[in-house]
């Protein structure tokens, strides 16, 4: 059984908020002038960033009346996009306390603290009432959670009947040992990548009906190619980017992610389901 502290330790930075504030100064911005879009390169910690969030959330029938759950919210980047773009109320939960504290500050910077509530805790035991959300989503979360059936049972518990769930996770698409480190894990001890079929089995057990599925392997490769090209053209990474979260091992993690994807061992996959 994975120790949650091992997962949190993998993501912990130490001075994430201070690092982001210093980076936005290099962009000619301040905490008074920064926008949701300005923060997107650093606070959407998943393949494809803002575009991936937009394409997933656009499938969840969101409106200003929606009460939405962000499972494994990280810094709350997708939550801020959701609240800003769709006018929703968003509740997020994440295992990494530093992400939550940083995310709460970022929400205040962009004036969305009244629309977004971020909580430190486990997705396997969420402090939310039954049938309390109209929709839910998770972006690159399940790779750190071994108990997929428990995860989706807990999410389904909080969803209202008919509520939609959007999942965008890295999943197994073929055989072979994964090259580590990867963005979500330094080794196999905290990495639990499984097939889409295993996700769908967990959905069914939780009373969730699959309505759409899309392999995003080509999208991932294009994203990393653009990331590397932009960095090379600029002579290094921009002030704000995923390297802020992944640290000195960023080049190795990206290299391994691309290699695993090219070898068809893994790929990001979208799954949309409805609570029965």
Query: How far, in Å, CA of 147 to CA of 207, rounded?
Result: 16
* Contact of 212 with 271, CB cutoff 8 Å: yes
Digits of tens for pLDDT over the chain (276 positions)?
Answer: 567 888 999 998 989 999 999 999 999 999 999 999 999 999 999 999 999 999 999 999 999 999 999 999 999 999 999 999 999 999 999 999 999 999 999 999 999 999 999 999 999 999 999 999 999 999 999 999 999 999 999 999 999 999 999 999 999 999 999 999 999 999 999 999 999 999 999 999 999 999 999 999 999 999 999 988 888 888 888 999 999 999 999 999 999 999 999 999 999 999 999 999
* CATH classification at residue 50: 3.40.50.150
Q: For residue 2, what pLDDT is reported?
A: 67
Q: For residue 1, what pLDDT is reported?
A: 59
Domain of 159 in residue numbering reads as 4-275
Domain count, the chain: 1
Tell me the whole-structure pTM to 2 decimals: 0.96
β-bridge mates for residue 168, sequence order: 139, 270
Look at strands 133-139 and 67-71 and give their pairing. parallel
Q: How far is CA 137 from CA 146, 152, 222, in A?
A: 18, 11, 23
């Amino acid at each position: 059984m994975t120790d949650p502290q091992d997962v949190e330790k993998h993501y912990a930075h130490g001075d994430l908020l201070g690092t982001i504030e210093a980076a936005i100064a290099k962009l000619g911005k301040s905490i008074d002038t920064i926008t949701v879009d300005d923060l997107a390169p650093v606070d959407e910690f998943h393949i494809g960033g803002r575009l991936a969030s937009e394409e997933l959330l656009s499938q969840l029938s969101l409106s200003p009346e929606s009460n939405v759950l962000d499972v494994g919210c990280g810094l709350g980047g997708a939550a801020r996009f959701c609240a800003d773009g769709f006018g929703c109320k968003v509740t997020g939960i994440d295992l990494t306390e530093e992400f939550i504290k940083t995310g709460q500050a970022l929400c205040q910077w962009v004036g969305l603290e009244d629309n977004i509530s971020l909580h430190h805790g486990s997705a396997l035991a969420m402090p939310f009432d039954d049938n309390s959300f109209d929709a839910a989503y998770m972006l690159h979360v399940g790779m750190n959670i071994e108990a997929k059936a428990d995860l989706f049972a807990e999410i389904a518990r909080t969803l209202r009947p008919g509520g939609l769930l959007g999942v965008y996770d890295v999943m197994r698409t073929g055989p072979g040992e994964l090259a580590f480190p990867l963005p979500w894990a330094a080794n196999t001890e905290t990495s639990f990548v499984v097939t889409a079929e295993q996700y769908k089995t967990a959905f069914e057990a939780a009373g969730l009906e699959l309505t759409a599925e899309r392999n995003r392997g080509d999208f991932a490769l294009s994203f990393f190619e653009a990331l590397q090209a932009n960095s090379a053209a600029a002579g290094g990474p921009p002030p704000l980017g995923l390297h802020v979260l992944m640290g000195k091992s960023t080049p190795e993690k990206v290299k391994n992610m691309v290699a695993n994807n090219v070898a068809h061992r893994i790929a990001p996959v979208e799954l949309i389901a409805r609570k029965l």
